[in-house]
Structure 1
Amino acid sequence: DRIPYRIWSFGRVIDSYDNNFLFQILGIGQAFKANTVDFAINGHSLANYLTYTYQTQRYLAGGGMGSSFIAESWLDFGYLGVVGFSVVYGVILAKFFVWARKNVWICAISFYMVNAIIYAPRAGAADFVSDILSPTYLLLLIGIYFYTKPKTYV
């Protein structure tokens, strides 16, 4: 009852765009520093909120309790959220080998998603998406794509 309502499941996606350097320059984002009271109270990380609320000294010293996709999805969407995220995880894991054989780009994204899904019981619900949608990762993929694109000379 004491946990405030926020979108916890997609917290890392929201926070990665709020704390993005480019968005801060444009005046869109918020500059939350890691392991600060402001980030724990106003951010979208359930792990940071719970650690700060129940173990303040540990949080301020840089420690954390972690989170769980079950807790985050249940707080946001109830039992339907837990079932929904579990089904999405299952589909991604089942399709992994099919996707990994399509091309190098889908293979890279698949490996990135599966790595995050393996840690989902101790991580956020949508961490498999947040890393892929982070501006840094997207810029890296775009840079690699244009660098490796075949050059045509006239």
Structure 2
Amino acid sequence: MNAAFTLDRLDRRILAALQADGRLTNQALSERVALSPSACLARVRRLEREGFIQGYHARLDPFRVDVGLVLFAEITLKGHSPEELARFDAAIKALPQVVESSHVSGAYDYLLKVVVTDIPEWTRIGEKLTAEEVGADRINTHVLLRKPKIFVGYPVKVQ
């Protein structure tokens, strides 16, 4: 990623439009942001290359696709050295049940979003995470009951 790259008004409009509807065709996007299709496509490719656009995904309703239990786990680590953080990061990346992970500040170190079929599966994963080589000291778990507001994107200031 180029540290000197800055977003201009058109880049921000493209990001806002794609975040609202990632299925926009280049033609529709170019019309929405008032650019030619070729100029619009060049900007989108640059935004992807520079890491502003990290991917395109379908957002699924976990209750409709019957994924099992969705949990949020607050993880406190035993140690905080770069090596211990890297070891924990590697361990959770290897677990397909961990669908999202954030290293956070505050009372705990990580917030994980986890999908499991049942509580015994989560118990086995928790035991792996608290194993000495992984380094979790404490896990506080919350079960998702419903989603009154879903994530639809970050606020992009369009000038």
User: Shorter-chain-normalised TM-score: which range?
Assistant: under 0.3
Q: Name the one with the larger helix percent.
A: 1
Q: Could you state the TM-score of these two structures normalised by the residue count of structure 1?
A: 0.23
The structure that is strand-richer by fraction is: 2
User: Scaled by the length of structure 2, what TM-score is found?
Assistant: 0.22
